[in-house]
Structure 1
Amino acid sequence: MGQWLSDLLDVELQIAADLAVSLVAIFVIFGLRLIAKGMISRRIEDSEITFRARKAVAYSTTILTIAVLSWIWIDAFENVATFLGLVSAGLAIALADVFLNLAGWAYVLLRHPFRVGDRIEIDGKSGDVIDIRVLRFSILEIGNWVDADQSTGRIIHVPNGLLFRQSMANYTLGFPYIWHEIPVLLTFESDWERGEAMLSEILQPYAMSSEEMGAEAEIKKASREYFIRYRELRPIVYTTVKDSGVMLTARFLVRAQQRRTADTDIWRQILSAIATEPHIELAYPTQRMVYSQLDLTPSGLTHEMGPDDESSS
């Protein structure tokens, strides 16, 4: 077979022999691979164990193939260093993404841009980190078609290398709270000062809870590593004027995973409070049309005639 390949490919006999042995080795190894996978599928009923076993067989046979081919072809090169150099260059080109993912994994382990349980956003996708592996990490998606920051139920697998190509936002690293704002639009005729006081009163429990949960202590802890400075951690109400009314904006601290719960709780209190206030009404985009009635009767169209009018007549 070696002589036939040598004549067919017009190469040295030794190279042709190595090529023939390589083809036989690949055929045998991958034949064993198919047999092993078939036996696993027939004898193991648990789907998870079957998946892991088939993966193990695939990885093992791939490594075995590389080792056998390396042993066959190493004599074709002048020395081991040359062989390893060529192999490394080839792998670097063919497996560039794999090496980038490995570098990303090392970056996660050494620098800790996020940990399991953190809420992050990367490449337009947001979610809670649920798993970190050698080549990828997984997040439980939030948002998308689901309103606010609720889970969609989908698991997104993100290559570790994406950390070097896309910016990443961490909702909870260093400081597990986020600032949340609730805009409340009142009509111009409403008693906005009373509305402002009402909102401040509703936000008071969040002022106490932020102290109880140790927001200030978390700020001090985070400031040791990041330049995080907040002069005011208590809830506050801002007032501004919009086209359709007076806008009151409630701003307060809340844990990243509890934003929607807090939003619902505060809106319930706002609606209940407004229902008891006769001088406060919610506004919405409106148009006001002013009509001016014109007198189109003959008497309304006549005017006093002057001397010029008489002469002209």
Structure 2
Amino acid sequence: MAHTLVYANNTTEASQESAALALEVAQLQERYTNVVKTIRETKNVWLYAYANYDAYQKLTRQLSQIESSIKQLKKERRSKKRDEEMVALEKKAQIVQSQLSLIPDVGERPFDALLALEELPKAPTVTNPIAIFTGLSFIKTLSQFKSAYLDKIGQLQKVITLINQEHDLLEELVYAGQEQYQERYAEAQLRLESFKSTLAILNSTALVYGKRIDDLLFKTEYQIQDQGKNLLQLAIIIGVLFAIAFAIKVIIRRYIKDHERFYMANKIVNFGNFIIIALVLTVRFIDNIEYFATVLGFASAGIAIAMRDWFMSILGWILIVMGGSIHVGDRVKFQKDGMEYVGDVLDISLFRITLMEDVTYTTYTTNRRAGRIIFVPNNYIFTSMIANYSHNSLKTVWDGIDITITFDSNHKKAAYLAKEIARKFSKGYTDITRKQLNKLRDKYSLKNTNVEPRVFTMVEPNGMRISTWYLTNAFATLTLRSSISAEIVDAFNKESDIHIAYPTQTVTTLHTTPHTSIPMAPMPTL
């Protein structure tokens, strides 16, 4: 009875252990299934590369076995069965070969392509501020290379963690007596060793690769910092130059009251400041200044020929600025190709003079239009006639009015009346001109400084011409001309012995015998 009870207890314990083991195996299988599912769903370049390599190796072994079987069958005596087996094997070999063609070339090892290091770009030489942008772009590129390499290592470590879990679960299943997992366990062990060895290679390579990237980054960052310092120094120099130019402008403004002269002086200061800044930039950022000067010397001849008009305009600008023949605000006349343009100078730039065409006597007699903006290249001063109506301190010009009277008119009275009217209307401009000419004596040799109105009497084919000349505002000649003309005509018309001449014709008629007209016969009545 006692032996029966012990046996029963042992049977119960064995059943419980068997049930516990079965439960443990089921849990292991479930965990293994979940890990395998996770591995399959994980999108990882390392898993993809190894899967291609593993599939390629399996298909290669399968193809080798098929080819070996075909060779073996060829040695056997020919029969219907043998031929059928040969055809089946050949078709199978073709299928395997087509499957191999779909797999990319993986090489002898599964991770040769992933372990290959990307060639680093050539480091730029940052020698000027503009190259800073190139250096920053290069730093960004290197950072991307480094980040990509570290990402490879991180992805491989994740894969090893998953495969290690798979390996441990398979090991426990095999230890639990699940022999059907023995082959998978062996494959997982080989796969784990392959991935671990790859990680070791990747880590050792990362040290060298990372050091190369760090060296390039350090060198480029140092060059950028150096150019940043140069750029800061340059900004300080340019700021000082602008401050000096501003101070000069303030001084000029204090001592030069004339607006036009201040404008021209301001332009000269700006141009000089621009030239100095350009020279500073050239000397600062050209490595071989002697080489640059040599190249510029050889190129200047060709440039001078190709850009002759530009250089002549620049030379004309220098002549205008230094000579002082034309200033902003002056009234000038340009003659070119038979056309005349009279206007006020709005601006004198490096290449051209800008005029605002006004209503003048030239407009009245020749152009019949005004208000246009005229652009005159500076090189015209070497080839064309230029007249300045308001040069230096002069603001007045001589203007003349011609009126013809008949030969039987009292020409002496007409000349007297015209002169008195001109003196009356131009007195203010006469006084102004007298003062202006006195100022010009120190600069020019003036022979005739008579500023009083002048009247000349000339014999013309159709009468006596009374030519009256007087000083008027250079910017408003038509206004005074109109007033004086009307006043002279009125004064002449009041005098009985002064007759204004104009083109006339004398018609002489001859007395002839009147012609007698003959009446026409009446028309017959129908």
TM-score class, shorter: 0.5 to 0.7
The alignment's TM-score, normalised by the length of structure 1, stands at 0.62
Distance 1:82 1:258 in 2: 55
Give 5+ residue unaligned stretches, structure 2. 1-277, 513-526
Partner residue, 1:201: 420
Residue 247 of structure 1 aligns to which amino acid in structure 2? R
Q: In the superposition, relative to structure 1, how do residues 130 and 238 fare at CA in structure 2: closer, same or farther (>3 Å)?
A: same
Residue 293 of structure 1 and its aligned partner are, at CA, apart by 8.2
Given that 1:118 and 1:170 are in contact with CA atoms closer than 8 Å, whether structure 2 keeps it comes out as yes
The one-letter amino acid paired with 1:209 is G
SS in 1 for 2:450: coil
Question: What does residue range 209-224 of structure 1 map to in structure 2 within 5 Å?
Answer: 209-213=428-432, 215-224=433-442
Find the counterpart in structure 1 of residue 311 from structure 2: 99
Residue 88 (1) aligns with residue 307 (2):
no
CA contact (8 A) 2:346 2:355 kept: yes
Using a 3 Å threshold, how does the CA distance of structure 1 residues 182 and 79 change in structure 2: closer, same or farther? Answer: closer
In the alignment, what sits opposite 1:138?
Answer: 354
Q: Equivalent residue for 2:341?
A: 125
**Structure 1: 5+ residue runs without aligned partners?**
1-62, 295-313
> By how many angstroms is 1:83 displaced?
2.7
Question: Partner residue of 1:187?
Answer: 406
SS of alignment partner, residue 257 of structure 1:
coil
Q: Output one character per residue of 1:179-225: Cα deviation in whole Å (capped at 9) or x when no partner.
A: 11111111223232322222122122145323442x11211222322
**Residue type of the alignment partner of 1:160:** N
User: Which residue in 2 is equivalent to 1:165?
Assistant: 383
More helix by share: 2
* Aligned counterpart, 2:45: none
8 Å CA contact retained: 2:437, 2:449: no
Aligned-pair CA distance for 1:261: 0.8
* Superposed CA offset, 1:53-72 (max 9, x none): xxxxxxxxxx9xxx9xxx9x
Query: Which residue pairs with 2:445 in the alignment?
Result: 227
Contact kept in structure 2, 1:105 and 1:134, CA below 8 Å: yes
**Within 5 Å, which residues of 2 pair with 1:227-306?**
227-288=445-506
**CA pair 151-290 structure 1, distance change in 2 beyond 3 A:** closer
- 1:129-164 Cα offsets, whole Å, 9 max, x none, are 111111111112245983059970001111112212
Q: How does 1:1-150 map to 2 (within 5 A)?
A: 79-122=291-334, 123=336, 124-142=340-358, 146-147=363-364
Q: CA deviation at 1:103?
A: 1.4
For 1:132, the aligned partner's letter is: I
**Number of residue pairs matched by the alignment:** 223
More strand by share: 1
Q: 1:199 to 1:81 in 2, by over 3 A?
A: closer
Corresponding residue SS for 2:376: strand
Does the residue aligned with 1:273 lie in a helix, a strand or coil?
A: helix
| 3-state SS of 2:371 partner | strand
TM-score by length of 2: 0.38
Say if 1:127 and 1:140, in contact at 8 Å, map to a contact too: yes
Return the alpha-carbon distance in structure 2 between the equivalents of residues 144 and 275 of structure 1. 25
CA gap 1:228/1:293 in 2 versus in 1, 3 angstroms = farther
Quick one: which amino acid aligns to residue 250 of structure 1?
A: T
Write out per-residue CA displacement over residues 88-119 of structure 1, whole angstroms, 9 at most, x where no aligned residue: 23322222221211111112221111111111
Are residues 288 and 93 of structure 1, via their aligned partners in 2, closer, same or farther at CA, if it must alter by over 3 Å?
A: same
**Within 2, Cα distance between the matches of 1:144 and 1:250?**
16
Q: Which structure has the bigger radius of gyration?
A: 2
Percent of aligned positions that are identical: 29
For the aligned residues, what is the CA RMSD? 3.3
What's the secondary structure of 1:157's corresponding residue?
strand
User: What's the offset of the Cα at 1:82?
Assistant: 4.0
